[in-house]
């Protein structure tokens, strides 16, 4: 990883939802450089230390992809003035920034941090404007302090920004109370990240009920999203979760019962198998089954047609099995056509479509 330091010259783009930023940096050495990454608090005039990699974008050219950054105290009066007047702090434009720096010099930031009431020493800054400046400055400082405090928990800058956007000043308290709650609250943070955070929370128990609940739901979600399983057999779910969580099976059985009791999981038999669903997939399967049942009860009416004529027009010769599939499709409301490559599925569908059009039915 490369490390660079420089002053932010301009903010080209910023996504307010996740903090993704494109900015122009004036590095200590070399020409101006485009920097991209999760830099939610980087502002014009700030001096940043960045860690990342140089890359070349096919459209935008040379870039520095930042994976981590920190603020470096402005090294000159001009840098402090640019930082304060960048629009970051409400009530401070270029003229006010110039007046503040002109009064306090290199001690400007120390005054704002330690003795902010001294802003009233500057002509034009009355109590109302002073309080507005302080409120904005302290809000930005609090956000920075919280994002910095989140670093030991193993979260990325992007994730930390999302956490702050949702929890605000209660961010650290919420994480320490229950790291697994953030799975529900924060889009893009799953069990693996929450479990990593939990490892850094002092005194958090790895056999806590919230961890076991989150682990069981993660197992079901992974089975669906990565392998296409709308449910897992209960025995498979428990076996996988024992390995994932390192918890005894009897504890997991109790936790699963609790999930089912609260409607966070659905447990029912599928044929001879005791299955566990996430509620969403159970609803989807039920919906599809109901729709198929309705379709199966609405066969095509009066499918009179000249089979041989359509076969000749399509220049197709159907086997007895294919012919049977076509006739079944015309007399049943729902039909599933299966078969390996080259077994004639496309031919059957073409023929069915031709017949439907022949008898005046719409084909979607």
Instruction: List pLDDT tens digits, range 241-292.
Output: 999 999 999 999 999 999 999 999 999 999 999 999 999 999 999 999 998 8
Q: Do residue 223 and residue 272 come from a single domain?
A: yes
Selected residue with higher pLDDT from 363 and 240: 240
CB atoms under 10 Å from CB of 260, counted, come to 14
Q: What is the pLDDT of residues 190-217, one digit of tens each?
A: 898 888 888 887 677 888 999 999 999 9
User: What kind and span of H or E run contains 196?
Assistant: helix 191-198
Q: Which domain holds residue 193?
A: 154-198
Q: Do residue 260 and residue 321 come from a single domain?
A: no
Q: Do residue 67 and residue 87 come from a single domain?
A: no
Position 105 confidence tier, pLDDT thresholds 50, 70, 90: very high
Q: Do residue 173 and residue 140 come from a single domain?
A: no
* pLDDT for the residue 102: 92
Q: Which of 72, 104, 120 is the last residue of a domain?
A: 72
Looking up residue 43, the CATH number of its domain turns out to be: 2.40.50.140
Domain for residue 110, yes or no? yes
Looking up residue 87, the CATH number of its domain turns out to be: 1.10.150
Q: Do residue 161 and residue 130 come from a single domain?
A: no
pTM given for the model: 0.63
Token pair for residue 337? 């056509």
DSSP 96-151: HHHHHHHHHGGGHHHHHHH-GGGGGGSTT--HHHHHHHHHHHHHHHHHHHHHHHHG
* pLDDT for the residue 302: 55
Domain for residue 42, yes or no? yes
Domain for residue 136, yes or no? yes
DSSP 45-112: T-EEEEEEEEEEETTTEEEEEEEEEEEE---SHHHHHHHHTTTTSTT--HHHHHHHHHHHGGGHHHHH
Token pair for residue 3? 């490390």
Domain for residue 296, yes or no? no
Q: Which of 231, 261, 280 is the last residue of a domain?
A: 280
Query: Which candidate, 289, 293, 292, 295, places its Cα nearest to that of 331?
Result: 295
Q: Do residue 227 and residue 272 come from a single domain?
A: yes
* Paired strand residues for 202: none
Inter-residue contact 321 to 295 (CB < 8 Å) = no
Provide the number of structural domains found in the chain: 5
Domain for residue 297, yes or no? no
Q: Which residues contact 206 (CB under 8 A, 6 or more apart)?
A: 198, 245, 246
Domain for residue 217, yes or no? yes
Token pair for residue 226? 């990565």
Task: Report CA torsion sign: 20, 24, 26, 29.
Answer: positive
């Amino acid at each position: 990883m490369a490390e660079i330091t420089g002053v932010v010259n301009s903010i080209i783009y910023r996504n307010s939802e996740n903090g993704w930023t494109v900015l122009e940096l004036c590095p200590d050495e070399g020409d101006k450089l485009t920097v991209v990454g999760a830099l939610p608090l980087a502002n014009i005039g700030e001096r940043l230390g960045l860690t990342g990699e140089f890359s070349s974008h096919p459209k935008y050219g040379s870039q520095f992809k930042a994976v981590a950054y920190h603020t470096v105290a402005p090294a000159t009066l001009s840098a402090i003035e640019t930082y304060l007047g960048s629009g970051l702090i409400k009530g401070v434009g270029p003229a006010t920034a110039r007046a503040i720096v002109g009064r306090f010099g290199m001690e400007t930031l120390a005054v704002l941090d330690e003795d902010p009431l001294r802003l009233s020493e500057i002509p034009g800054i009355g109590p109302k404007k002073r309080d507005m400046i302080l409120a904005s400055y302290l809000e930005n400082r609090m956000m920075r302090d919280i994002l910095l405090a989140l670093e030991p928990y193993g979260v990325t800058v992007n994730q930390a920004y999302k956490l702050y956007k949702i929890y605000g000043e209660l961010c650290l308290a919420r994480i320490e109370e229950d790291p697994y709650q953030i799975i529900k609250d924060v889009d893009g943070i799953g069990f693996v990240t929450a479990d990593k955070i939990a490892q850094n929370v002092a005194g958090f128990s790895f056999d806590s009920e919230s961890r076991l609940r989150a682990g069981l739901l993660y197992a079901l979600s992974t089975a669906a999203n990565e392998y296409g399983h709308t449910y897992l057999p209960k025995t498979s779910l428990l076996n996988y979760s024992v390995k994932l969580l390192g918890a005894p099976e009897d504890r997991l059985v109790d936790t699963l019962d609790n999930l089912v009791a609260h409607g966070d999981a659905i447990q029912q038999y599928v044929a001879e198998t005791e299955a566990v669903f996430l509620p969403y997939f159970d609803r989807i399967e039920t919906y599809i089954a109901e729709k198929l049942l309705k379709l199966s009860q609405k066969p095509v009416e009066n499918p009179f047609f000249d089979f041989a004529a359509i076969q000749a027009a399509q220049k197709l010769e159907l086997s007895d099995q294919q012919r049977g599939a076509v006739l079944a499709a015309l007399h049943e409301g729902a039909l599933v056509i299966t078969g390996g490559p080259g077994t004639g599925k496309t031919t059957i569908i073409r023929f069915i479509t031709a017949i439907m059009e022949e008898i005046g039915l719409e084909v979607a």
